[in-house]
Amino acid sequence: MSIAKRVQQWATFARTWHIYDCTWQNPFESAALVKTHLMGLHKPIYHPMNDCGDHVVLINTKEIALPGDEWIKRVYFHHTGYPGGASWTLAWQLHEKDPTMVMKKAVYNSMHGNLQRRHTMQRLHLFSGDSVPDEILQNVTNQIRTPRTVPQRLDHIDKETLENFPTIMDYPKDYILR
C-alpha cells in the first residue's frame, strides 16, 4: 500500500468531530441533522455494521427555540414502574431543570431503538452554554450549518442601520406622535 493510499485509509475511517450551535434552532429539525453525522449516514462507506459514526458537540442548548406554544404543548412522559408512578413534564419545565435534556431526547428519539443507539449517543457531547472544555474543542474540525438564521433583536441593531433604513410611510399632518 502506497503512502497516499494509507493516509486515505486513515482519513476515511477516522472519527471526525463536528460542532453545532443550537442558538434559536428547533431541536427536532436539528436532531435529524445531528443524527446523520452521529451515525455516519453522510459517508459513502456507511453500513449498519460499519462503526463509522462521528462525534458531535452541541453548544448553547439552553438557547433552543420551539415554534408557537410548543413549550407548553409538548409533554415528556415518565413512569417509575410503581402503581401511580406516571408523571408528565412539560417541555419548558424539563428545559428549566436541565437545559440539555430536550436536545438530548430529541436526538435519542430520532434514532431507531436498536442496540447501537446507546453507543451512538456516547459520541454526542452536550453543553448548555458556549463554554466547552479545551480537550474537546481541540478535536473539532467541522461546523454543521444551522437550518435557521438567528433573528436579530431591534434593540441590538446598531444605530447607523436604524437611521439609514428606508421608511415605508409618513405620518399624516394631523397625527400626534407618541
Partner 1 sequence: MASLLKVATSTLRSTLWQTRSVATTTPQLIKEIQEKQENNVRTYEGVNIESERSEKLLKSACQTTFCPECTLGLDIKHTDVLILSQYVRSDGCMLPRRITGLCYRQQKKMGTLVTMAQKAGLMPNLGPSWSKKDPKQRYGWKKFNKYFLESTIKY
Binding site for partner 1 (CB under 8 A): 24, 26, 63-72, 90, 92, 95, 148-149, 151-155, 157, 161-162, 164-173, 175-178
**C-alpha grid cell for residue 78?**
415518565
Least Å distance, CB 25 to partner 1, is 9
Instruction: Indicate the residue among 53 and 99 with the shorter CB distance to partner 1.
Output: 99
Least Å distance, CB 153 to partner 1, is 5
Instruction: Indicate the residue among 44 and 68 with the shorter CB distance to partner 1.
Output: 68
Contacts 24+ apart (CB under 8 A), 133-142: 136/17, 136/57, 137/57, 139/17, 139/55, 140/17, 140/18, 140/19, 140/57, 141/16, 141/17, 141/18, 142/16, 142/17, 142/18, 142/19
Q: Are 35 and 157 contacting, i.e. CB atoms less than 8 angstroms apart?
A: no
**C-alpha grid cell for residue 158?**
446598531
Least Å distance, CB 106 to partner 1, is 15
Instruction: Indicate the residue among 80 and 161 with the shorter CB distance to partner 1.
Output: 161
The β-bridge partners of 20 are 58
Grid cell 413512569 is found at: 79
Instruction: Indicate the residue among 41 and 150 with the shorter CB distance to partner 1.
Output: 150
Least Å distance, CB 59 to partner 1, is 15
Q: Backbone phi, then psi, for 163, in 5-degree steps? A: -75, -35
**C-alpha grid cell for residue 7?**
493516509
Least Å distance, CB 112 to partner 1, is 28
Instruction: Indicate the residue among 135 and 174 with the shorter CB distance to partner 1.
Output: 174
